[in-house]
Amino acid sequence: MRSAPAVALCWIAFGAATMAQDSAAPAPTPAAAAVAAGPAADDTPAAAAPAMGRWWMGSIESPNGKLQAVVELRQVEAVWQAFAGFPAMGVRRKLCGDVRFDQGHLSFTLDLRGVVGRFDGAITEATAAFDGVLALGPAGREDRLPFSLPCWRDPTETPGATRYTATLDAGRTKLPMEFVLADAGAPIGWVGTVSIVAQGVAQMPVSVSRGEASTRIEFSTQPPAVLDLHPQADGTLTGTFTQGQFNGPIALSPAAAVASATRPQEPKPPFPYEVREAKARHPVLPIELAGTLFIPPHEAGAKLPGVLLVAGSGPNDRDETVFGHKPFLVWADALARAGFVVYRYDKRGVGGSNGDFGRSTGVDFATDADAASEFLKSLPEVDPARVAIVGHSEGAACAGQAAEWQWTDEHPYHPVAALVLLAGTGMPGSEVLRWQVRQMLLSEGVSVEDADAAMIPYNEFLNALDQKASVEELTEKAKAMIRAQAKAVGQDGLMTDADLEQAAQGAVAQARSVGMAFIRTSDPRTALSRVGCPVLAIGGSLDVQVDPTENLRGITEAVTHARQEITTKTMPGLNHLLQPATSGAVSEYATIEITVDPSVMTLVIDWLKAKLAAPAATPLPAAAPAE
């Protein structure tokens, strides 16, 4: 079944959670590439925030029209953090820098596709808004854009919230939606969210204007989606749904009370192990990686094996929170119960960790993994010769790079004793990207013929990047890429020229970013061909983000070149998060109750127990570089 026009007028671009640097969650269709930031992106409660709330949402007037924006302010361990989302630019939720909040005055900087902007303003209780100026560009020549972003509050936390269900008839398909609306009272007024499970949209904030005779709901997408509704005697809201050139009827029906997602694997206290907060210091940079240690009970003076968890791409917290799941919390609990000391940490610039996430690449994150593993080895409860790194997705590549550094050091001291690569890559980044986009189209019901046709301009766009084409040429190729993808999902003709221009500019800026350039040109096999420890690599047969067959083959060849033991396993019926899935599509992630399939955790734990049962062998001489 193809994606409906609703909330789906953007581009797949570079695809998935393994690759996207600006989002906390992947984009299964063009829809999710355009969603705004919301509470589902990070479930960690703020330690403190302005009395009126944590989020501000509205539009900023720019020379090119309105720029929809969502700003979140939160405090972790006395440090203020700000996140901003600009759906029209393909920026879902990006960590801001130099955040300052004092007595109502808020300022922060943000790299908007290579253009640095600074927000400077005040949060005013009387107007329930964040008012100020956004300065874009170099000092002295910047554009100064005034803004007023009204406060937004999570309706599920507001008394009297009402949940509505609706199904949009888009011709060739039907698109179920769920809305939650609530009156937050003066001066905030009505607030709401929308969830579209089929498109991976979970609790996206929406603007709500409600009177006695009408209700208007706006999605912060590109182009905006608007619902004009009227109340009926039975409580139903009926009217029209408009986005771009699409217009159709829709009815919102009151449903049962608002319910939260069930995550049965998440551990609840009391825990059978010690929980300790800790910080790993980077050996070169002034960066501290804040994390949590799970330490099993043990005899005094005993040395336990240790496991470091390294998260995938995006501004992940220590739990690798995604679509309401906390995979690393579940992994850490299982490993600690099995007798391992486990350390997991917030990525640099996220949560309690300092540093600049936005300007970092995979190499930077690998140095963080290296530093975190050394910290784990230094603990008095841990045997430094029996420490393993478990990396998921891009975190698997970081784990391999850290292991190479430790094993090829001139005087290695207790290098990592084992590696576990969960849904990791064993192919050049550009090949992974190509496979991802095609597989995502297929997983959403696009035919093989239409997917292959959409891939032609996509490949031409990547080739132009490799050839360092001009921005103008890249923009034209991006337009062709976007048109082809829109046609593949049955949305050709629905995007205006202005929408297309804006989407193309966002795609070009994303492609030319430091992080994406590194991903396209990187090859994890180089590091894996020089490791000196056994490796376990696991993939899910339904993974639409990392091809399990080709990537496990590449990992096997690289580790074999290093003359090390390699064990691979393709788990039937599991997706990229290693959940039991139906199609593997990213749109399923949030709807699956299981966070990690228990069979995967059993396999990993049994393998680690065998490999870390005794001190690691003396480091082998470095293998020759892969050809």
User: Greater confidence, 137 or 624?
Assistant: 137
Instruction: Give the Cα separation of 45 and 27 in Å (integer).
Output: 25
DSSP assignment, residue 357?
A: S
Which residue from 328, 273, 319, 325 is spatially nearest to 295, judged by alpha carbons?
273
Q: What percent of the chain has pLDDT over 70?
A: 83
User: Greater confidence, 203 or 236?
Assistant: 236
What pTM value is reported for the model?
0.75
What would the DSSP string read from start to end of 29-53?
STTGGGPPP-GGG--PPPS---TT-
* pLDDT for residue 98 is more than 50: yes
Instruction: Give the Cα separation of 142 and 116 in Å (integer).
Output: 10
Which pLDDT score is estimated for 372? 97
CB 173 within 8 A of CB 163: no
In this prediction, residue 260 has a pLDDT band, given cuts at 50, 70 and 90, of low
CB 393 within 8 A of CB 510: no
Instruction: Give residues with Cβ within 8 angstroms of 235, minimum separation 6.
Output: 253, 254
Which pLDDT score is estimated for 70? 85
Cα dihedral 366, 312, 24, 487 sign: positive
User: Greater confidence, 251 or 623?
Assistant: 251
577-614 per-position pLDDT tens digit: 999 999 888 778 877 899 999 999 999 999 999 999 86
Backbone angles phi, psi at 435, to 5 degrees: -65, -40
State mean pLDDT over 527-550. Answer: 96
Range in 194-198, 503-507, 525-529 with the lowest mean pLDDT: 194-198
User: Greater confidence, 228 or 246?
Assistant: 228
State mean pLDDT over 67-77. Answer: 80
312-325 per-position pLDDT tens digit: 988 889 999 887 79
Average pLDDT of every residue of the chain:
83
Instruction: Give the Cα separation of 211 and 465 in Å (integer).
Output: 50
User: Greater confidence, 618 or 504?
Assistant: 504
Q: Name the β-bridge partners of 238.
A: 230, 251
In this prediction, residue 46 has a pLDDT band, given cuts at 50, 70 and 90, of very low
User: Greater confidence, 188 or 422?
Assistant: 422
- Helices 497-511 and 514-521: crossing angle in degrees, nearest 10, is 70
Range in 51-60, 262-271, 293-302, 578-587 with the lowest mean pLDDT: 51-60
Which residue from 76, 186, 200, 45 is spatially nearest to 128, judged by alpha carbons?
186
Domain 156-254 is in which class? Answer: mainly beta
Calculate the dihedral angle through the C-alpha atoms of 539, 543, 544, 545, rounding to the nearest 10 degrees: -40
In this prediction, residue 21 has a pLDDT band, given cuts at 50, 70 and 90, of very low
Note the CATH architecture for domain 274-427+523-611: 3-Layer(aba) Sandwich (3.40)
Range in 41-45, 86-90, 112-116 with the lowest mean pLDDT: 41-45
Which pLDDT score is estimated for 23? 34
Cα dihedral 94, 97, 101, 107 sign: negative
* pLDDT for residue 199 is more than 90: no
DSSP assignment, residue 4?
A: P
In this prediction, residue 170 has a pLDDT band, given cuts at 50, 70 and 90, of low
SS (H, E, C) 117-144: EEEEEEEECCCCEEEEEEEECCCCCCEE
412-431 per-position pLDDT tens digit: 789 999 999 999 999 998 89
Instruction: Give residues with Cβ within 8 angstroms of 375, minimum separation 6.
Output: 278, 280, 281, 289, 343
The amino acid occupying position 108 is F
* Ramachandran quadrant class, 189 (left: phi over 0; alpha: psi -120 to 50; beta: rest): left
Which pLDDT score is estimated for 169? 80
Is residue 279 helix, strand or coil?
strand
In this prediction, residue 404 has a pLDDT band, given cuts at 50, 70 and 90, of very high
DSSP assignment, residue 322?
A: B
CB 231 within 8 A of CB 213: yes
In the chain, where the domains are located: 32-152, 156-254, 274-427+523-611, 429-519
Which pLDDT score is estimated for 58? 83
Which pLDDT score is estimated for 360? 86
Instruction: Give residues with Cβ within 8 angstroms of 472, minimum separation 6.
Output: none
Which pLDDT score is estimated for 200? 57
